[in-house]
Structure 1
Amino acid sequence: MSRTLLDQWRDIAYDEQADRGQLQNFWGTYFQIEKEIYEKLLSNPDEEVKGTVKELAEKYGQEVLTMVGFLDGINESLKEENPIETMEEDTVVSLAFDKEKLYKNMVAAKADWLYELPQWKEIYSEEELKKLYKEQKESTTIRKGKKVGRNDPCPCGSGKKYKKCCGR
């Protein structure tokens, strides 16, 4: 069985045998391409961009495997996910994204070169962007509850001290 496009992309992008400098160059180039595609998508956020993987690669002036990497990255932010695991060059895919989800996923990925794109300011106000940023950051913050002392009332509501109830 031949390797899927996604497998081919991942072999290149996550090659553990590759020279570190080569990988840094690869990702630096990829992030620039990704940024350019997002600039175009965000300049008209309500337009659904649709086509085969090959057509989209041509539309954005990219190689098919680079487009596959982009599709892999944006997939969780789409209104309907594409079949990235099985797609071929002639698979029709959509880039219709959920704006809020996309912004939050960019924040979660710590991709400041993407969530700070000026096009976002055309979509959301400064306050809305701050609110979305804060919501995303807080959603990954782990908060520990107040520790129950052994002589405190048991949190189960029995009325007994914790040490005589659930603390056993």
Structure 2
Amino acid sequence: MSDKSLLEQWRATAYDQSLSKTELENFWSKYFTIEKDIYVELLKNPDEEVRGTLKEVAAKYGQDVMTMVGFLDGINDSLKVANPIETMTEDTEINLVFDKELLYKNMIDAKADWLYGLPQWDDIFDEETKKRLYREQKQSGTIRKEKKIGRNDPCPCGSGKKYKKCCGRNI
């Protein structure tokens, strides 16, 4: 048994620098296919409260424990109650009860179009809602600068005076 937690073991495997670029690409390609299949199952019945030990939930989706740890690492921020992924063992009780809007937005943030583009989302959100969530997520990372008031511009207080003769006088 390793001294590392399951999460540390997963990350050591997933980000193993000793593997070649091709090996890492193959690893992630296989993982993303598995991840997509799990999401397809989860989204078929989004209100189902999937709970159990890590080992039981992994078996439910036909995965080994390590792959399920990787999946939990990705979905944990979208859950209504986060799992203790840093310290979990095979017998730790976990849940996959997710916030639908948050999960959709997190998939957009991760640029995982193979996930937020799944047809199962059509049964959960209408097109308008998906567009709104997409916009909200994209705008959340955008920094907007307010238009700077010029000295000779009209004062925003509505006095009719130039800014430099009104509210900008004391600056």
TM over 0.5: yes
Q: 1:90 to 1:152 in 2, by over 3 A?
A: same
Measure how far apart 1:18 and its partner are. 1.7
CA distance in 2, matches of 1:151, 1:57: 67
Give the match for residue 76 of structure 1: 77
- Give the partner amino acid of 2:101: E
* CA shift for structure 1 position 140: 1.1
Shift of 1:62: 1.0
Say if 1:163 and 1:85 are closer, same or farther in 2 by CA, change over 3 A: same
Task: Tell me what 1:55 maps to.
Answer: 56
Structure 1, residues 98-132: CA drift from partner, whole Å, max 9, x if none?
Answer: 00000000011000000000000001111111111
In the alignment, which residue of structure 2 is the partner of 1:35?
A: 36
* Separation in 1, partners of 2:135, 2:88: 35
Match of 1:118 in 2: 119
Q: CA deviation at 1:19?
A: 0.7
SS in structure 1 at match of 2:146? coil
User: Considering only aligned residues, what root-mean-square deviation do their CA atoms show, in Å?
Assistant: 2.2
What is the CA-CA distance between 1:93 and the residue it aligns to? 0.1
Which aligned pairs between 1:98-117 and structure 2 lie closer than 5 A? 98-117=99-118
The offset of 1:142, in angstroms, is 1.3
Equivalent position of 1:87 in the other structure: 88
SS where residue 119 of structure 2 aligns?
coil
What is the alpha-carbon distance in structure 2 between the residues aligned to residue 152 and residue 4 of structure 1? Answer: 61
Mind listing any 5+ residue stretches in structure 1 that lack a counterpart? none
Q: Which residue of 1 aligns with 2:4?
A: 3
> In the alignment, what sits opposite 1:67?
68
2:56 is equivalent to residue 18 of structure 1:
no
Runs of 4+ in 1 over 2 A off after TM superposition: 147-155, 159-166
TM-superposition CA deviations, 1:133-162 (whole Å, max 9, x none): 11111111111221344555898xxx9739
Please tell me whether the aligned partners of residues 154 and 165 of structure 1 are also in contact (alpha carbons under 8 angstroms).
no
Give the alignment's TM-score, normalised by structure 1: 0.89
Segment drifting more, 115-124 vs 143-152 = 143-152
1:29 partner amino acid: K
Deviations 1:21-67 (A, max 9, x none): 11111110100000000000000000000111111111111111110
Distance 1:127 1:51 in 2: 35
